[in-house]
Amino acid sequence: MSDKPQTRIQAKNRAAILAAGLDAFSKYGFRGTTLDQIAEAAGLSKPNLLYYFPSKDAIYTALLERLLDTWLDPLIAMKADGDPVEEILAYAMRKLEMSRDYPRESRLFANEILQGAPHIAGHLSGDLRALVDEKAVVINGWAAAGKIAPVDPHHLIFSIWSLTQHYADFEVQVNAVLGREDWYDDAGAHLDALLRARLQARVPG
């Protein structure tokens, strides 16, 4: 994927288009987003927008690829040779940070999955599955060594995904129910206690 040299104008406009596209696609999904919408938010005319990206699909695909490129980094960073509980907790906290710092990316991903993952189905059953399986082995090893309580590693990972992404994807609901928007620290503390209790549950016998 060699980055072709870009003029300043290209860099600026492509960035503006991707930013506008992320805003729109993350809210309305691929089909619910229009080129005019993106063009206006990016401050460009529609033909001008299509000068930088050949099609609506190209914008969407570019955003998804950029996302997938970093989406798995927090899980990749969970290392077998660290302290098990702290490694898992640190992973959960990194995911929670991503929900705070990149909520639109999280919602873009959620939208894509809701629609049946038409653009990234292969990625899910390929890269993603392989990575999760690999980390499941690590978690199973920790459990076998008595470092954490026995746990289904796949569902543990699903739990971390759901608990953290919820704060980005359902942000509107969280804000409405809590009546405020400064709940991030509370969420982190709650998540920490929840996972810690499960991982350190005394094994009966």
Least Å distance, CB 118 to DNA, is 15
Binding mask 43-72 for DNA (x = CB under 7 A): -xxxxx-xx--xxxx---------------
**Nearer CB in complex with DNA: 10/173:** 10
Q: How far apart are CA 176 and CA 174, in angstroms?
A: 5
Burial class (CB within 10 angstroms; exposed 0-12, middle 13-18, buried 19+) of 33: buried
Q: How far apart are CA 30 and CA 107, in angstroms?
A: 12
Which does residue 154 bind out of a copy of itself, DNA, none, counting CB within 5 to 8 angstroms by kind?
a copy of itself
Q: How far apart are CA 85 and CA 138, in angstroms?
A: 12
**Nearer CB in complex with DNA: 21/74:** 21
Burial class (CB within 10 angstroms; exposed 0-12, middle 13-18, buried 19+) of 85: middle
**Nearer CB in complex with a copy of itself: 8/180:** 180
**Nearer CB in complex with a copy of itself: 144/203:** 203
Q: Does 174 bind a copy of itself (CB under 8 A)?
A: yes
Least Å distance, CB 40 to DNA, is 10
Least Å distance, CB 68 to a copy of itself, is 13
Concatenating the DSSP letter of every residue in 177-192 gives: HHTSS--HHHHHHHHH
Q: Does 139 bind DNA (CB under 7 A)?
A: no
Burial class (CB within 10 angstroms; exposed 0-12, middle 13-18, buried 19+) of 17: buried
CB burial string 110-149: b at 16+ within 10 A, e below:
bbbeeeeeebbeebeeeebeeebeebbebbeebbeeeebb
Q: Does 76 bind a copy of itself (CB under 8 A)?
A: no
Indicate which single residue of 15, 144, 178, 203 sits in contact with a copy of itself (rule: CB under 8 A).
178
Indicate which single residue of 3, 7, 172, 180 sits in contact with DNA (rule: CB under 7 A).
7
Q: Does 35 bind DNA (CB under 7 A)?
A: yes
**Binding-site ranges for DNA (CB under 7 A):** 7-10, 13, 33-37, 44-48, 50-51, 54-57
